[in-house]
Amino acid sequence: MFDPKWFVIGFALSVVALIANYDLRFGLAASVLVLAAGGIYLWISMWLASDTDAPRSERDAMFNRLGRLARNRRKARVKELSAQGGPNAG
């Protein structure tokens, strides 16, 4: 349901808020560190996700594969019926 990264992001933001409440300079330093870590995470995720044709998840890949298999079965069935002179012969 929820991706665990959102819990980590929320926890990091709450920690930064608590540190900023204690001392503004420490809060600014913690904010810079959190932003740097977030920037590095985004850079790495963009670098690794350079293949735009790749499915977003294993579930999407499975649905794509099952759809391809279903289309192939329908084509084979139509071809088989037309070769036998069935109702779809034409």
Q: How far apart are CA 9 and CA 26, in angstroms?
A: 19
- What per-residue confidence (pLDDT) applies to 55? 64
pLDDT for residue 79: 92
Polymer length of the chain:
90
Give me the helices (H) in the chain, please.
Answer: 4-22, 24-48, 58-84
pTM over 0.75: no
- From residue 31, alpha-carbon distances to 8, 12, 16, 36 in Å are 15, 9, 6, 8
Nearest to 15 by CA among 3, 5, 29, 36: 29
Cα-Cα-Cα-Cα torsion 77, 79, 82, 84, nearest 10 degrees, comes to -70
Strand, coil or helix: 33 = helix
Domain ranges of the chain: 1-52, 55-90
Reading the chain (90 residues) residue by residue, the pLDDT tens digits are: 678 888 988 999 999 999 999 999 999 999 999 999 999 999 998 887 766 666 677 888 888 899 999 999 999 999 999 988 866 555
- Per DSSP, helices labelled H in 23-57 are 24-48
